[in-house]
Structures are given as C-alpha cells and as structure tokens.
C-alpha cells in the first residue's frame, strides 16, 4: 500500500449530522487495551460552536499544557488548539469532497440544523491566547486514525481497511472498514508528535490506567513545556513540580466522562486522589493545583454540583465541594435542587425543616463559586454524538446531553489525609439514611455511636481546640449538613476509641489498585 501523503494541518471534520457515517458508533468502543464493556457509554460534544464556547469560558493561559482525555474524532481538540476561536471547517470539508467527486446535501457546520445556533464569537487578534501544547489520550486507534490521521502501530491487526484509494483524504472513505473482535490485552502506551499540527501530541492510551496522565506529562515530547513553568525546580531535578500554595500551574486535564458506572468511578477516584497532595507528591498533583475541565452527563453533573439541603446532595457532592472550587462551563443548564433522576429542567424550592427561605440557603453558598445562574445553552440532537434521540429531530433538547464543569483544587480543605478513610466511611454510612436526622443516622457508624451526639453539638468555650469543624444539632438532616459540620462529625468519629477497626469496604481494596474496568 503506498504511503499516505502528509497534510500540513489537521483534517477538517465533517458536519456532526454525518458523523454516524464517517465515525460509526462502534469505533468509540473499540480499543486494544480495554474490554469492550469499559468503553460503553461514550458521548461526545460534536458542535464546533459549543466546543468553542467551552474553551473560551475555560480560559487558556499563557504557556498552557492541556491533556485531553477521550477526545473522539477531535472536535473539542480543534477548539482547544484554536483557543476557542471558530474557524469555518465546512468549506474545507466540502473542498475535500469536491476533490473526491462526492456530492452531498447542504448541512450546517454547527450541527444543529437551525439558525438559533448562530452566535457572535470573537475572532483572532493580538490578545488571542492559544495553548502551548495539547496532548490527547484516546483508547480507540480507529478514531485516532480517522479523526487525527494518526497511523497507529500494527493497526492492521485490529482494524483493517478493505479498500484504500491512493491520495484520498486523510479521513478514510466511510464504510470501508471490516471490524474484528479482540481479547483484552495490555497494550503499551505510545506518545507521538502529530504530523499535522506542531502543537498536538497524540497518544493511543486509556485514562482508566492510573499512570497514563503522569506518563504523558513526563514524556520527552511534553516535559520541555512543563519544565518551562518552573525553571528553578528544573535545576533541582524536580521539573515542573511546585508547592501546593504556589500559583496554579497552566496545566489542565480536559476529560469527557463516559456515561457509565466505570466512567463515574474514574472521575470520583480522580477527585478523591487530591487528598494529601499538600503533603506528598503523587499523580498529577505533583505539578501543583492542576485544574480539571469535565464534560459529563446530567446525573453526574448534578451530583457533583449539588449543595447542602438539595435533594440530590450526596457523598460525591460533599467530597467534591470540600476539595475543589466548582464552576459551570458550557453547555450550561444548572438546575438548583434537581430531582434524583435529573429529569427536571427548572429548579424547585428547597424545603428542609424550617429553612425554606432563599437567604438561609444562600448562606451555605461558597462566594468563590458564584450563583451558577448562567442562561441555559440551547442544544440540538446533533450537537452530541451519538445523539440520544433521533438526529433528524429539529426540536431543541430539554437539557444538554453533556454539561461542563471546571474543578480547581482548593488551597486548604477540611479533608485531612489521615482522615480520608474516616470521611469515606462516615459519608457512605450516613447517606444511607440521608433524609433522617444525623442523630439517627449515626447508629450506622457502629455500636454505641449514638453516644457521640453530645460531641457533635459541643459549642462550649474552647470547642475549636477540642474538635475540628462546626457544631451540628442532632435534629439536622444528613443531606442538610454543611462541609464544616461534616468535618466535626468525622473528627469526633475519628477520635472515638470504639470506632470500627476496618473502615474500608471489601471492594475498596480493588479500587485502590487505581486500575478501572479490569476483571
């Protein structure tokens, strides 16, 4: 087979309404290194307009190094490389089709098929900032090849083209591939410079494997960009590493979370891993307070963003808000006090005991996080791939399929490293009875735990020297406790002489391996 001609830029992507032809859904679930079940539930943000809005609101900083996890064909990748400034790819795609002699119907590049999707966006200027480097981690070699023109090694043993036209577009002709089922194997990660963009690094790898992200950051193709951030540390042999109380590094992990149990488990593990980063250097936190930019489904978004006294407030909500500053990113559609199935598209009043008024609820809101009152983003089925409803529907979605969140690690947190297991145990067991008073839920913590109530409520002189956090009344419902009140409950429990010897579930030992989705 003759070598594929090099293209000096990334190939243009087709309109999202045609992605099912060019990127069959099955490609998203094919990987050399993961069992098929692990890659289920992948949904991508396909609209160029919404990807640009996500990047602009995220904000690219000078010298930014971005690792993008699960990019798919690369619509968001292209927005990241452009710094969130829209460039018309529809004309380039049509030009390629004209070269091939292919005729097609008129489609909109935004993927909505509607004029409502148009908006005024900034254009490139002298103050326009683009990242220094974008490194993508994509587990599907077929997607890397079709979306980025990346020739993966030995790819013919995995996904073979049944027909190849000499000199055709870097994106293979649709429906020219034969699929093969493979067994789960351990495939070595590779990191390669893109032939089509000087600031793009490609890696056929999976973030379900715990070392993947730090290995990319320490790769010789990426490390020089990281070293520039901390030249003094480089001299000391600590390239890129910085103290926790130093300024946030211009490093961002952008991730699209699969709508699956394992996808949610991965993000929850990332969130929990920041505990102890202030004392020891581990994983990506060795580089400082690296921010996470997340695209996830409605249910996961609502649980991460929930606040005290909201119906969906849970263990994940408490841990995330205790460890990170949270900020919505496009597509927007925050629903205060959403129902547990995330079906409501408008907020409902918070009625918890006597606290029914908004000022009482407002008092629990972290001023640094804001009120999250952005206007909902209007989205259509083809703004996402694969679409959750028939792509030919012209009606807007009640709520976007994917919602964005920016998570920035807090400088200080109520979750102490030596109490991490205690936090996990207390929250897990108390939220079993989330609508009950803490005095009743405490009985789940062990025999005799009801005797701890007096210590929970202790606000006598000098209580801050005895206990961490703020006092909590025994009649306060579990889902109504603030983070500082949870700090009191956990601290009292952790100092209790009769607390259970084993705080971990049997499955926690498996989770501790940091390898997700492995049978």
Q: Which CATH number fits domain 417-511: 1.10.3720.10, 3.20.20.30, 1.10.8.100, 3.40.50.300?
A: 1.10.8.100
Question: What pLDDT shows up at residue 88?
Answer: 62
Name the pLDDT band for 107 (thresholds 50, 70, 90). Answer: very low
State how far the Cα of 13 lies from the Cα of 73, in Å rounded to an integer.
Answer: 8
Please answer whether residues 444 and 434 qualify as being in contact, where contact means their C-beta atoms are separated by less than 8 angstroms. no
pLDDT at 232: 59
414 pLDDT more than 60: yes
What does the pLDDT look like over 29-82, one tens digit per residue? 878 766 655 678 899 999 999 999 999 999 999 999 999 999 999 999 999 999
**CA distance readout (Å), 26 to 126, 138, 143, 173, 257:** 42, 15, 10, 16, 17
What pLDDT is attached to residue 389?
76
DSSP string, 23-86: S-GGGGG--SSS-GGGGTT--EE--HHHHHHHHHHH-PPTT-EEEEES-TTSHHHHHHHHTT--
Give the residue with greater pLDDT, 166 vs 263: 263
Closest-CA residue to 251 (of 68, 100, 75, 120): 68
Q: What is the pLDDT of residue 206?
A: 92
Residues 6+ apart with CB under 8 A from 48: 75, 78, 79, 86, 89, 109, 110, 111
User: How open is the CA angle 194-200-205, to the nearest 5 degrees?
Assistant: 80
Cα 231 off chain centre by: 29
DSSP 218-262: TSTTTHHHHHTT-HHHHHTT-TT---TTSPPPSEEEEEE--SSHH
Answer for the pair 215, 189: CB distance below 8 angstroms, yes or no. Answer: yes
Per-residue pLDDT tens for 275-297? 987 766 789 999 999 999 999 99
Domain coordinates in residue numbering, the chain:
16-409, 417-511
Give pTM, 2 decimals: 0.84
Give the model confidence (pLDDT) of 145-159 as tens digits.
999 988 765 443 344
CATH superfamily entry for domain 16-409: Vaccinia Virus protein VP39 (3.40.50.150)
Answer left, alpha or beta for residue 479, where phi above 0 means left and psi between -120 and 50 means alpha.
alpha
Write down the mean pLDDT value for the chain.
81
Place 112 in a pLDDT band, splitting at 50, 70 and 90: very low
Judged by average pLDDT, the poorest of 56-70, 122-136, 273-287, 486-500 is 122-136
Question: Which pLDDT score is estimated for 23?
Answer: 92
Band of residue 214 on the pLDDT scale cut at 50, 70, 90: very high
Confidence (pLDDT) at 431: 97
Pick the closest to residue 139 from 128, 130, 150 (CA basis).
150
Span 332-390, pLDDT tens digits: 999 999 998 898 888 877 765 444 334 444 445 677 677 798 999 999 999 999 987 77
Question: Looking at residue 173, what is its pLDDT?
Answer: 40
**Average pLDDT rounded to a whole number, residues 385-410:** 89
**177 pLDDT above the threshold of 60:** no
Q: Is the pLDDT of residue 95 over 80?
A: no
Taking alpha carbons only, the member of 249, 326, 322 closest to residue 286 is 249
CA-derived radius of gyration, the chain: 24
Name the band, by pLDDT with cuts 50, 70 and 90, for residue 320.
very high
Task: Give CA–CA dist 452/415, Å, rounded.
Answer: 20
**Cα–Cα distance for residue pair 363/350, rounded to 1 Å:** 13
> What mean pLDDT is predicted for residues 76-99?
72
d(CA 405, CA 333): 11
Six-digit token string for 179: 């699929």
Identify the pLDDT of residue 116: 39
DSSP 351: -
Give the residue with greater pLDDT, 151 vs 508.
151
Q: Could you tell me which of 61, 59, 80 has the C-alpha nearest to residue 229?
A: 61
On the question of pLDDT at 196 being above 60, the answer is yes
Collapsed DSSP state (helix, strand, coil) of residue 107:
coil
Average pLDDT over residues 295-319: 97
Cα–Cα distance for residue pair 184/31, rounded to 1 Å: 9
Average pLDDT over residues 457-469: 92
């Amino acid at each position: 087979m003759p070598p594929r001609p090099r293209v000096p830029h990334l190939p243009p992507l087709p309109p999202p309404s045609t992605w099912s032809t060019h990127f069959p859904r099955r490609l998203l679930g094919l990987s050399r290194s993961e069992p098929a079940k692990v890659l289920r539930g992948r949904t991508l943000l396909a609209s160029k307009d919404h990807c640009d809005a996500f990047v602009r609101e995220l904000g690219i900083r000078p010298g930014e190094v971005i690792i993008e996890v699960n990019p798919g064909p690369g619509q968001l990748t292209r927005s990241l490389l452009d710094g969130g400034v829209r460039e018309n790819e529809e004309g380039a795609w049509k030009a390629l089709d004209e070269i091939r002699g292919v005729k097609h119907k008129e489609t909109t590049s935004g993927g909505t098929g509607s004029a409502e999707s148009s908006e005024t966006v900034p254009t490139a200027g002298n103050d326009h900032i683009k990242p220094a480097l974008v490194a993508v981690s994509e587990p599907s070699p077929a997607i890397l090849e079709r979306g980025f023109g990346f020739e993966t090694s030995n790819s013919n043993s995995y996904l073979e083209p049944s027909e190849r036209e000499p000199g055709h577009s870097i994106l293979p002709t649709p429906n020219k591939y034969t699929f093969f089922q493979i067994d789960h194997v351990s495939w070595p990660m590779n990191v390669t410079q893109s032939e089509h963009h000087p600031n793009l690094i490609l890696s056929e790898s999976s973030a379900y494997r715990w070392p993947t992200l730090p290995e990319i950051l320490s790769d010789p193709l990426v490390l020089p960009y990281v070293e520039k951030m901390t030249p003094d540390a480089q001299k000391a042999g600590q390239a890129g590493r910085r103290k926790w109380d130093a300024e946030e590094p211009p490093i961002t992990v952008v991730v699209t979370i699969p709508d699956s149990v394992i996808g949610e488990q991965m993000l929850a593990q990332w969130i929990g891993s920041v505990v102890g980063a202030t004392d020891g250097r581990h994983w990506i936190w060795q580089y400082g307070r690296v921010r996470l930019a997340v695209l996830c489904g409605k249910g996961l978004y609502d649980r991460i963003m929930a606040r005290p006294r909201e119906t969906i407030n849970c263990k994940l909500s408490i841990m995330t808000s205790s460890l990170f500053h949270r900020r919505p990113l496009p597509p927007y559609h925050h629903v205060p006090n959403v129902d547990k199935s995330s079906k409501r598209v408008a907020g409902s009043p918070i009625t918890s005991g006597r606290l029914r008024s908004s000022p009482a609820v407002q008092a629990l809101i972290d001023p640094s996080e804001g009120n999250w009152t952005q206007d909902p983003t209007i989205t259509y089925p083809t703004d996402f791939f694969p679409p959750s409803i028939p792509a030919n529907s012209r009606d807007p979605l009640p709520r976007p399929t994917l919602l964005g969140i920016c998570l920035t690690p807090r400088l200080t947190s109520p979750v102490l490293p030596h109490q991490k297991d205690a936090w996990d145990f207390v929250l897990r067991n108390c939220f079993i009875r989330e609508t009950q008073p803490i005095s009743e839920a405490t009985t789940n913590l062990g025999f005799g735990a009801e005797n701890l109530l007096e210590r929970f409520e202790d606000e006598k002189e000098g209580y801050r020297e005895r206990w961490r956090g703020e006092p909590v009344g025994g009649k306060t419902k579990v889902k109504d406790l603030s983070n500082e009140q949870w700090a009191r409950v956990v601290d009292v429990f952790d100092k209790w002489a009769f607390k259970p010897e084993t705080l971990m579930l049997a499955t926690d030992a498996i989770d501790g391996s940091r390898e997700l989705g492995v049978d």
